[in-house]
Amino acid sequence: MLTKDDVALMILETKKAAGLTWEGIAERIGMSPVFTHSAAMGMNAFPPAKAAALGQVLNLSAEAVEVLSESPNKVWPQTVPTDPCIYRFYEIVGVYGPTLKALIHEKFGDGIMSAIDFEMSVSRVENPKGDRVKVEMSGKYLQYNAW
């Protein structure tokens, strides 16, 4: 029986051997690169039709395609990451998390930004001081309910 980790490894190997990019794969299946990567790595579930489309693009087995549509556990190591790129995002949340929370509460009230009804994109922005990484996130506001 295949696990999400098994399928993620298959996808990474196939992607590399085929010389594909996440943007190219996402375009071929009609999804965003962010969600495509996240679901391919097991942190989200593909809708069945998108799992089948990915299976066709990467020539995955029927069992692997089925695993892609299963609900994930969304469990990750709780230690501070050491990969420099991932660590910087951890640092950003550590430094600016309270600020983001305060500003969300000021503008919307007591609640959160959903990571379920959520969109994110990553783009490159040319800049004379050095190219910039632009990360845009948009999540539905969810107000806490008072009982």
Q: How many CA atoms lie within 13 A of 89 on its CB side?
A: 7
- 13, 63, 91, 119: the active-site residue: 91
Q: Which of 61, 114, 121, 138 is catalytic?
A: 114
Selecting among 61, 63, 88, 136, the annotated active-site residue is 88
> Catalytic: 114?
yes
70 is catalytic: no
- Provide the phi-psi class of 82: left if phi over 0, else alpha when psi is between -120 and 50, else beta: alpha
Residue located via tokens 């996808």: 11
**Helix, strand, coil abundance in the chain, percent, nearest 5:** 50, 20, 30
Judge whether 91 counts as a catalytic residue.
yes
Instruction: Work out the angle between the directed axes of helices 22-29 and 33-40 (0-180°, nearest 10).
Output: 100
Alpha-carbon distance 142 to 112, whole Å?
5
1, 25, 123, 137 alpha-carbon torsion, rounded to 10°: -50
- Active-site residues: which are they? 88, 91, 114
